[in-house]
Amino acid sequence: MAVALRGLATVVPPTVLVQEEVRDVFAAQPGLTRLAQRIVATSFNVSGIDTRHTVLIELSREAHPDEPVFFDIRSGELLLPGTKARNELYVEHATTLYLDAARAALAATPGIGPADVTHVITVSCTGFYAPGPDYVLARDLGLPPDVERYHLGFMGCYASIPALRLAKQLCEATPDAVVLVVSAELCTLHLRASNDPDTIVASSLFSDGAGAGIVTARPLEPGERAFDLDRFATRITPVGEGDMAWKIGDHGFEMVLSNAVPAIIDQHITGAMEPLFAHDDALAEALRTDASSEAIEHWAIHPGGRSILDKVESRLVLTEEQLVPARATLRDFGNMSSATVLFVLRHILDQASSGDGERVAAMAFGPGLTVETALLTVRG
pLDDT tens-digit profile of 336-364?
A: 999 999 999 999 999 978 899 999 999 99
Cα(357)–Cα(34) distance, integer angstroms:
53
3 state SS of 90: helix
pLDDT at residue 66 in the model: 79
Task: For residue 186, say if its preceding peptide bond is cis, omega within 30 degrees of 0.
Answer: no
Catalytic residue among 125, 157, 171, 187: 157
CB 301, CB 273: distance < 8 Å: no
Is the separation of the CB atoms in 228 and 366 below 8 Å? no
What are the residue boundaries of the structural domains of the chain, listed by start? 227-379
Question: pTM of this prediction?
Answer: 0.96
Span 269-302, pLDDT tens digits: 999 999 999 999 999 999 999 999 999 999 999 9
Measure the CA–CA gap between 304 and 342, rounded to whole angstroms.
13
CA angle 315, 321, 323 (to 5 degrees): 50
Average pLDDT, the chain: 95
Using one digit for the tens of pLDDT, what is the confidence trace for 24-77? 999 999 999 999 999 999 999 999 999 999 999 988 767 777 788 999 988 889
- Whether 182 shows a pLDDT value over 80: the answer reads yes
Is 157 designated active site?
yes
Alpha helices by DSSP H, listed for the chain, are 19-27, 34-45, 83-107, 133-140, 160-173, 197-205, 261-277, 281-288, 292-295, 306-315, 324-333, 340-350
Reply yes or no: is the peptide bond before residue 162 cis, omega within 30 of 0.
no
**Would you identify the CATH topology of the domain 227-379?**
Peroxisomal Thiolase; Chain A, domain 1 (3.40.47)
